[in-house]
Structure 1
Amino acid sequence: MSSQQATPQRTSPMALFNDRTKSYINVCAPMVRYSKLPFRELIRNYKVDLAYTPMILAKEFKNSGVARDSDFTTNRSDTSLIIQFASNDGVELLRAVEFVVGYVDGIDINCGCPQKWAINEGIGVHLMENPETVRDMIRTIKGGGLNIPISIKIRIHNDLRKTVDFTKRAESIGLDFIAIHGRTRRQKSTSPVNIPAIKLCKESLNIPIIANGDIFSLTDAEKLYESTKCDGVMSARGLLKNPALFAGFESTPWECIRKFVELSLNYGTNHFIFHHHLMYMFEDVMSNAERKTFNTLTSIPAIVDHLEEHYGLDL
């Protein structure tokens, strides 16, 4: 966390939701490995209003300075920013949050990660069956005197009455907003998003709702807003493929790729993340043969040289 820079000139997500000049806000989802500082800085140039960090384990973050330095980096321009924690213990979560007050604009509790390891740890989507645990964590943060917005990111239940009850319970103890991924814990990303479920939650609650799922273009975002009237629209896979989608670009503009390479070099992004980001961005450009060649590049300098030689990259 040594590279963080706290600043009083931050943008509260609540101010974004209250901005009457916008029908809805554009949101970058928390993405494991990918929604880190260089990518967040990139997408803010393309009309992203609110961005989430990747999911961070609150227990490890609280206990380890090494974890804090590796998991969370920010700067003065990285706002509005939500840090997402995974936890099932209110006190543990509060101790983790205390490290980032002043550096973020909100706290999110992950209630939607469907991976087996997370379920086995009693975090992520496991919490969807434990509303009292979620309420306890919200209550603990709200009672901690930190004065910071708190949200949860959830999936839906098969029985939507449970989802409405879950969200209303969280709202009743002071939750500030909710992001809703319109799939159940067992549905794959290829399953259609349940738009009526998100709309039902929006109509049942009095706090801002962010709708998440299947946003790959500005048209998709506008349609989801029109169908749900939610306060924000969140993209994950769509932004990985095209970081400029909210700015109306149908595919990743070359300047966006060039800027990402520049930011990655400046921030020392590791080879694995750098390589995979570019593979997403070039998904519709590279042939199968080109992908095979690209996958043999084992260092960032080799990738940069390849982009210079074959795509005219000019830094």
Structure 2
Amino acid sequence: MSLRAARLPKLFTRPHLFRSPQVSLFTTMPVPTPRDSSPSAEHRPSKRTKSITDHVLPGAMLTNEELDNSSFTTSDPGLTTSPFPRDTRSEEQLVAEQMDLPVEVSREYENDIDYREKLVLAPMVRTGSLPMRLLSLYYGAGLVWSPEVVDKAIIGCERVVDPESGVITYHKGQGPIFTTHPIEKPYLIFQIGSSDPALAVKAAQTVQQDVAGIDLNCGCPKPFSTHSGMGAALLSTPDLLLDILRALLTSIPLPISCKIRLLPTQPSTKLLVSRIIRTGIRNLTVHCRTRDMRPGVPAVWSRLADLVALGKKRGIPITCNGDGEGWSNWEAIRAQTGADSLMLARAAERNPSVFLPIGPRCNLTEVIPRLLAIAEYTKNPWGNTKFLLSQFKPSPPPISDMPKAERKRLSQVVAQCKSIDEAAAGLGLSLAKGTVIFASIVERIESIQSGTNVWEERRLAEEKGEVLDEPQGLEERAEVDGFEVGVGQAEDEEEMAMNG
């Protein structure tokens, strides 16, 4: 018996005592001993361990936190492992360096979009359906965003055109994923939810013939979006965010934009914005709240001016989102931030006529009849139509001189009806003229977008005393950017308010 076997307990020298042949084999296998390398053997370096800089894209910047948490590794036996050199540049210096770099993708578009000097409709859960978008355009919205549609939801959809109404529906054999009408095409921005450059491109290619531009959602903070790396999760993965934008810019023949939220600190927000606007996008919308801010907390307009300044250096318009009420506070926001345009969500959801320079009109007597006509003509699902009606708030004085009791009665009628016909009957309306009303809506959309100077129209209305702005409380101004039916439905008002 060898000296090594003699030193082992008897149990381990008797393989037959084990029932498992695998264990028996293991205990009887020879123990390998290390061999000295041959003096003549050629030195082969071991496989290099990747450091943090291996994943940095050209033009990307590492944060000091990333540098602190990284290490420099080497396979050279003559060197010892040492900490990765700390980047001593400040975020302000990094921003300046980004702004000195050329635009990554510069191209001309056959039908470019003017994003400046406009009140625009935000992407909103359920609210941003076709009837609301058409109503918003009718009352003067410069552009309208579709609700967010997740890339995989729209990819593979069948495109069907209604020969009577002209409505275009994208579906996969069940409910519609996205619905549009040719009249809104020059003003429609299709918002995509994605965390994959290739899927984002496929989604955009699916609908590009029916929209004016493509927008990437980088602001939705809800788990249904962030768990897949979409929405606000992209703010934590800026390299991926930029890759998606680059893919869209190089593959889609339409203007590309994106929508973000503020980061916790201003320097980090400026650095992110400087990188985004360098890609070649045509517009950046900034929701002036951070990912963790509750919807009832006032939007931080004071942080937007720095971002607008960066946009002006690149010639990129910056759209403000957050607590916008329409004409009643657009001038104040412009004065404080310099924002090129203002995106409306909750104010438009309450009353889409808020886009009028003279102020909103009465919901019950003017807006709702037009909504029902549009819904009936476009065959909008009753569930969505009723949801829109439920969001419209009875217009108080001086917008409406209707007695409070009558406003309450009509609101109850709308809440209890189960079809468009019932709603029309309860409000004393006739749907027989739906085609005529829709034709008038189409005519106005075409005329109101033909170079009208909305600021001059507003000034003249103020001089004549025709402006009737409706004051709103802060709790009613919380934003409700959202997602499309391709993902699901918001479960409550808080969830709606946090989307986007």
Question: How would you bin the TM-score normalised by the shorter chain?
Answer: 0.7 to 0.9
- Asked whether 1:168 is paired with 2:274, we answer yes
Among 249, 253, 257, the alignment partner of 2:359 is 249
Report the counterpart of residue 140 of structure 1 in structure 2. Answer: 247
8 Å CA contact retained: 2:353, 2:359: yes
CA contact 1:181–1:213 (8 Å) conserved in 2: yes
Contact 2:389–2:414 (8 Å) recurs in 1: no
Deviation at 1:265, TM superposition (A): 0.7
Secondary structure of the residue aligned to 1:202 is: helix
Matched, 1:202 2:202: no
The answer for the alignment partner of 2:294 in structure 1 is 188
Residue 236 of structure 1, CA deviation: 0.7
Q: Which runs of 5+ in 1 are unaligned?
A: 1-9, 18-23
Distance in 2, matches of 1:265 and 1:293, equals 18
Which residue is equivalent to 2:370? 259
8 Å CA contact retained: 1:307, 1:313: no
Identify if the C-alpha distance between structure 1 residues 11 and 232 changes in structure 2 by more than 3 Å, giving closer, same or farther.
Answer: farther
Residues 40-66 of structure 1 show CA distances to partners (whole Å, capped at 9, x for unaligned) of 111112111111111001112113438
State the alpha-carbon separation in 2 of the partners of residues 52 and 11 from structure 1. 17
Closer, same or farther: CA 219–11 of 1 in aligned 2, 3 Å: farther
Q: 1:296 to 1:255 in 2, by over 3 A?
A: closer
TM-score, with normalisation over the residues of structure 2?
0.55
| Alpha-carbon separation, structure 2, partners of 1:11 and 1:221 | 27
1:11 touches 1:80 (CA, 8 Å); kept in 2? no
Compute the displacement of 1:215 (Å): 1.8
2:391 aligned residue (277, 280, 293):
280
Equivalent pair of 2:352/2:360 in contact (CA under 8 Å): no
2-structure distance, mates of 1:314, 1:238:
30
Give TM-score scaled by structure 1 length. 0.86
Instruction: Give RMSD over aligned pairs.
Output: 2.3
Name the CA distance, whole Å, in 1 between partners of 2:260 and 2:371.
Answer: 30
Cα offsets for 1:60-92 (capped at 9, x unmatched): 211343893322222332021100000000001
CA distance in 1, matches of 2:273, 2:122: 19
Q: Secondary structure at the match of 1:308?
A: coil
Seen in structure 2, the aligned counterparts of structure 1 residues 193 and 212 have a Cα distance that, compared at 3 Å, is same
- Matching residue of 2:62: none
Aligned pair count reads: 296
Alignment partner of 2:418 out of 298, 303, 315:
298
- SS of residue in 2 equivalent to 1:101: helix
Q: 225, 241, 251: which is aligned to 2:334? A: 225
Cα distance change, pair 117–172 in 1 and its aligned pair in 2 (3 A): same
Q: Which runs of 5+ in 2 are unaligned?
A: 1-109, 160-168, 397-403, 434-500
Q: 1: distance between equivalents of 2:279 and 2:246?
A: 7
Alpha-carbon spacing, 1:12–1:255, altered in 2? closer, same or farther (3 Å)? farther
State the shift of 1:107 in Å. Answer: 0.5
Who is 1:63 aligned against? Answer: 156
Deviates more, 1:196-205 or 1:60-69: 60-69
Q: Amino acid of the residue matched to residue 112 of structure 2?
A: S
Q: Helix, strand or coil: the match of 2:352?
A: coil
How far did residue 313 of structure 1 move?
9.2
Aligned twin of 1:97 = 204
Secondary structure class of the residue paired with 1:68: strand
Give the counterpart of 1:121 among 217, 220, 228. Answer: 228
C-alpha distance in 2, partners of 1:98/1:119?
24
Paired residue for 1:20?
Answer: none
How much has 1:290 moved relative to structure 2?
Answer: 5.9
